[in-house]
A and B are shown apart, each in its own frame.
Chain A
Amino acid sequence: MRDETAPDTSIDTATLRRALDQAAEIVIGKPHALRLALTCLVANGHLLVEDVPGVGKTTLAQTLAKVLGLSLSRVQFTSDLLPADVLGVSIYEPDQHAFRFHPGPIFAQVVLADEVNRANPKSQSALLEAMEERQVTVDGKTHALPEPFFVIATQNPTEQIGTFPLPESQLDRFLMRIDVGYPSEQAELELLAGADRRQLLKQLQASLQPEQVLAAQAAARAVKTTPPLLQYVLDLVLTTRRHAKVKDGLSPRAGLALKRAAQAWALLDGRPGVLPEDVQAVFPAVVGHRLRSASEDGGASDLAQQILQQVAVP
């Protein structure tokens, strides 16, 4: 899908790292979350951020979009949100005696879907279907979404009243789920002392073209995965299926997601092939929301770490 006539489609790891460093100046003290978010984008997946409000989820999305030179739109999900509010609507134009499609906020390269669990299931599924299909069909007409297309959905895990938590099958649509978490003491001090993030964000220069993001996605797909590495991925997946503490094991789709994410992670390190460490780095983020713990105690992230420790690197 790459546009061959585009001005600059070359991509190298240095460029990507530079973008990452730039973003880190704004999103302080969260290099790992930032890198996972970029990895998710490069792997052509969508990101679910689960955390309490005010830790910088929105800033993260805005920074990422700005640094990569991508258009951003933000949808605040509420219980009265309609699918048309997300996708767009056809409106009758009296001058032209015809319906015209007014694209919704989803027609952006980076879509920030804030508090996605506040919306009713109908609007949720409109978003999730668009994420999967990468196109929108309204009134029988199909409209392709821009490329690259990257959805960052946020969820507030503590407030459960009046929310519609995403079902398991929908969670699977997100390549990764990350927790941003509170910044460290030092980072928070820096945050308090530093300039307003919004000002910084305005001054931020894009270090990449959208075409280069597409090129990065293609390059990630080309990162080599050798048989022993694939065996390692498979061993991890199979272990979740036999694991006493796991209710349902990982699906084959989850295995593919794990491989894609590890490829993108390796690309950010500039490696021609995926290492077991790359898989280990993305494993908790990729499988955390896909594993259901058999017992209610113990988070899924702990579970992911336990599984990593149990599987030998082949």
Chain B
Amino acid sequence: MTEAASRQVVSRHTTLRLLAVLTVVLAPHVSHVPLWATALVVAVGLWRAGAAARGWQLPGLAVRGGLAAAATGGVYLSFGTLNGQTPGVTLLALMGALKLTEMRGHRDHMVMIMLAYFLLVTHFLFNQEVPMIAFLLLCAVLITAMLTEINHPQGPLPARQTLRSAGVMVAQAIPLMIVLFILFPRIPGPLWGLPSDSGANAVTGLSDSMSPGDITNLSQSDAVAFRARFDGPLPPPNQRYWRGPVLWDFDGRTWTRGEAANYLPPARLTDIGDPVDYEVILEVSRKPWLLALDVPTQAPANGVFSAGLSARARRPIYERKLYRSTAYTQYTLDAELSQFTRNVATRLPSNRNPDSITLARQWRDSAGSDTAFIDRVLQYFRAQPFVYTLQPPALGRHTVDDFLFNTRRGFCGHYSSAFVTLMRAAGLPARVVTGYQGGESNGDYFTVRQSDAHAWAEVWLNGRGWVRVDPTAAVSPERVELGLGAALPAGEPVPGLARRTGAMLENLQLRWELVNAAWNRWVLAYGPEMQREILSRFGLGDWRSMIFALVAAVTVLLGVVGVWALWQTRPARNNDQALRLWNQVSNKLRKHGLERAADEGPRDYTDRVVAQRPDLTEPMQRILRAYLQARYFGTAQDLAPLRDAVADLKT
């Protein structure tokens, strides 16, 4: 850009429009950045709009520098760092707003427009859903319209015209975008996630530990945990248990995997029934767990099993993951139990929950058999007024005692914790299994949300191996059979999608879910593995051939667009022919140094040729006559006279 262009004045209307577009582009960030940052950005934006409208003086270097330093300091104070996703975006938005205070000429406006494009990309760090994509496309059109507006040689065109041409440009870019999306070699790792930001906005769901007594209000998240598609029919609701971490160790308050779990022998499966094949698209969890339908025989996606047949990936899940797996709903898990495992699975903290332990021993003695004892415990849950709720009261030091005999209000964590404690007190090996239970089917797909997170128990019975017992089902069978929405008492807040009301609304939700599933399945889950898998079907397995195909596809695409553009601007055909014949004259005379100049009219050219070559006077006059009649007088019937005259020209 030349010096003159950078100083070129931009009209205040254009500046105001650019401010409006920036407002739209920045709007979604309001939910992530701190309130003070939003306030500062809005204040600076409003001030700049006032400056544009009223012609206020822009601040000097000292004020701008001071504001920039203050904004940087503010971000550091708010986050404790300048790195990471949210601090980085906050800083970027602030600096973008402060850039407005020195936005004068054409060049500064260009910088702001480029920054707006960059800000568009930052939205992907927070949200990659379909509505956001639609919004970002709209923003891209708006920004491109601004780009057209400030660069049009004849000054700003009417808004409708710039918007239309920007829309056309964005639409024209879409084929290129698709080619790049499919063929550009993917790198492993999250495309949009920044790993350093894991703790800030973790969603509730599965975790490595469970402390029922400490939770008084279980966060209710509608976020999708994963989606599954079964090759065959769906398993019945009471078998939709998705296995996650298995918790062995209880310290009286918190269940964890425990150190001992690392040394337990691997699980052994026998007497397995028919396989159930399915595919899972796992959302970003920032946890290594690979959810699998009870029970898997092999850890999916190259993962490994840890004790208790819970599959985990080698590193936490930072990008959507697509994997296939196989489950067996009929099985015998660990027909034999090692003494070490038995010890770990019956260990209880000393001097905790004395009442429960006493009660369990009493019941075990009176029951006669292990199964009768289990029934006795479940019977207790059913008979006493236990309530399933997501807002239980906090529990005291003896969490299980408190829960069983006092509060009697809780969710799956409370029930499974209490149940396993009772089992272990009576000497039965038992463990807490966490994961997901339920989900909703939606055509091909089966969606499991964070609100479907669940905990249940497994008890080892002689001759039957580990048997799944879900004490929550005893209290609230609906939780297992119908889902969370049905299980909660009326009047208690439920996650929006967990309680189903209205057939039409439900239908719409399901359709929307289907769109999201397709989006996730085909777009967001398109990582390096899926790319390699799909492209290898076309013989483009390695990145070299991908690059080659990419370059070829882009070349072909641009070539097609170029040819189309040429075709669009081709001269009219009839004129073209007369002109072509006329050009032949110039070509014939070129070797005599009598080529026609581009700005030379037909008569001037003829005069020049005739002056140089008097011998050509007659044929040249004949050509000129025919050419003028054909092209400028509109008196020629066809091009035959001109064609003949040109053919007769002998130089």
Which residues of A come within 8 Å of B, CB atoms?
224, 226-229, 241-242, 271-277, 280, 308-314
Task: Tell me whether A276 and B602 are in contact (CB under 8 A).
Answer: yes
- In the bound complex, CA of A272 to CA of B636 (Å): 12
- In the bound complex, CA of A241 to CA of B153 (Å): 9
A271-B633, A273-B634, A275-B628 known; A227 and B599 CB under 8 Å? Answer: no
Can you name the residue of chain B whose Cβ is closest to the Cβ of A276? Answer: B601
Measured between beta carbons, the chain A residues less than 8 angstroms from B464 are: none
B94 to A: closest C-beta gap in Å: 40
Task: Tell me whether B603 and A312 are in contact (CB under 8 A).
Answer: no
Which listed residue, A226, A227, A277, A310, touches B601 by the CB 8 Å rule? A277
Task: Tell me whether B632 and A275 are in contact (CB under 8 A).
Answer: yes
Measured between beta carbons, the chain B residues less than 8 angstroms from A229 are: 632
Quick check: is B572 within 8 A (CB to CB) of the other chain?
yes
Which listed residue, B572, B599, B635, touches A310 by the CB 8 Å rule? B599
Can you name the residue of chain A whose Cβ is closest to the Cβ of B596? Answer: A313
Mark interface residues in B501-529 (1 if CB within 8 Å of A CB, else 0): 00000000000000000000000000000
Measured between beta carbons, the chain B residues less than 8 angstroms from A314 are: 571, 575, 579
- In the bound complex, CA of A308 to CA of B572 (Å): 23
Measured between beta carbons, the chain A residues less than 8 angstroms from B603 are: 275, 277
- In the bound complex, CA of A83 to CA of B572 (Å): 52
- In the bound complex, CA of A166 to CA of B628 (Å): 40
Can you name the residue of chain B whose Cβ is closest to the Cβ of A279? Answer: B601
**Interface residues on chain B, size class:** 10 to 19
- B29-59 with Cβ < 8 A to chain A: none
Task: Tell me whether B633 and A224 are in contact (CB under 8 A).
Answer: yes
Task: Tell me whether A277 and B604 are in contact (CB under 8 A).
Answer: yes
Task: Tell me whether B634 and A308 are in contact (CB under 8 A).
Answer: no
- In the bound complex, CA of A227 to CA of B572 (Å): 10
B482 to A: closest C-beta gap in Å: 72
26 A-B pairs with CB atoms under 8 Å apart are A226-B631, A227-B572, A228-B575, A228-B579, A228-B632, A242-B153, A271-B628, A272-B633, A273-B628, A273-B633, A274-B632, A275-B601, A275-B602, A275-B603, A275-B628, A276-B601, A276-B602, A277-B601, A277-B604, A280-B599, A280-B601, A280-B604, A311-B599, A313-B600, A313-B602, A314-B575
Can you name 16 extra interface pairs (CB under 8 A) apart from A224-B634, A313-B599? A224-B633, A226-B631, A226-B634, A227-B572, A228-B575, A271-B633, A272-B633, A273-B635, A275-B632, A276-B601, A276-B602, A277-B603, A280-B601, A313-B601, A313-B602, A314-B571
- In the bound complex, CA of A309 to CA of B633 (Å): 24
Can you name the residue of chain B whose Cβ is closest to the Cβ of A273? Answer: B633
Can you name the residue of chain A whose Cβ is closest to the Cβ of B631? Answer: A228
Can you name the residue of chain B whose Cβ is closest to the Cβ of A274? Answer: B632
- B566-591 with Cβ < 8 A to chain A: 571-572, 575, 579
- In the bound complex, CA of A220 to CA of B505 (Å): 75
- In the bound complex, CA of A18 to CA of B257 (Å): 115
The interface centre, meaning the residue of B154, B571, B634 with most chain A CB atoms within 10 A of its CB, is B634
Task: Tell me whether B632 and A224 are in contact (CB under 8 A).
Answer: yes
Nearest 4 CB-CB pairings of A with B? A273-B633, A276-B601, A312-B598, A277-B601
Task: Tell me whether A273 and B632 are in contact (CB under 8 A).
Answer: yes
B9 to A: closest C-beta gap in Å: 15
Task: Tell me whether A226 and B598 are in contact (CB under 8 A).
Answer: no
- In the bound complex, CA of A277 to CA of B633 (Å): 14
- In the bound complex, CA of A150 to CA of B602 (Å): 32
B599 to A: closest C-beta gap in Å: 5
- B623-651 with Cβ < 8 A to chain A: 628, 631-635
Measured between beta carbons, the chain B residues less than 8 angstroms from A274 are: 632
Measured between beta carbons, the chain A residues less than 8 angstroms from B635 are: 272-273
A181 to B: closest C-beta gap in Å: 23
B69 to A: closest C-beta gap in Å: 43
- B244-261 with Cβ < 8 A to chain A: none
Measured between beta carbons, the chain B residues less than 8 angstroms from A280 are: 599, 601, 604
Mark interface residues in B124-146 (1 if CB within 8 Å of A CB, else 0): 00000000000000000000000
B120 to A: closest C-beta gap in Å: 32
- In the bound complex, CA of A242 to CA of B152 (Å): 11
- In the bound complex, CA of A272 to CA of B632 (Å): 9
Mark interface residues in B466-485 (1 if CB within 8 Å of A CB, else 0): 00000000000000000000
Measured between beta carbons, the chain B residues less than 8 angstroms from A228 are: 575, 579, 631-632
- In the bound complex, CA of A308 to CA of B601 (Å): 11
B598 to A: closest C-beta gap in Å: 4
Measured between beta carbons, the chain A residues less than 8 angstroms from B632 are: 224, 226, 228-229, 273-275
A203 to B: closest C-beta gap in Å: 37
A273-B628, A277-B604 known; A308 and B153 CB under 8 Å? Answer: no
Can you name the residue of chain A whose Cβ is closest to the Cβ of B603? Answer: A277
- In the bound complex, CA of A245 to CA of B564 (Å): 33
Measured between beta carbons, the chain B residues less than 8 angstroms from A277 are: 601-604
B555 to A: closest C-beta gap in Å: 31
- In the bound complex, CA of A280 to CA of B599 (Å): 9
- In the bound complex, CA of A224 to CA of B575 (Å): 16
Measured between beta carbons, the chain B residues less than 8 angstroms from A308 are: 599
Measured between beta carbons, the chain B residues less than 8 angstroms from A312 are: 598-599
- In the bound complex, CA of A312 to CA of B633 (Å): 20
B579 to A: closest C-beta gap in Å: 8
The interface centre, meaning the residue of B602, B632, B633 with most chain A CB atoms within 10 A of its CB, is B632
Can you name the residue of chain B whose Cβ is closest to the Cβ of A241? Answer: B154
B237 to A: closest C-beta gap in Å: 72
Measured between beta carbons, the chain B residues less than 8 angstroms from A226 are: 631-634
Task: Tell me whether A313 and B598 are in contact (CB under 8 A).
Answer: yes
Measured between beta carbons, the chain B residues less than 8 angstroms from A275 are: 601-603, 628, 632
Can you name the residue of chain B whose Cβ is closest to the Cβ of A312? Answer: B598
B451 to A: closest C-beta gap in Å: 63
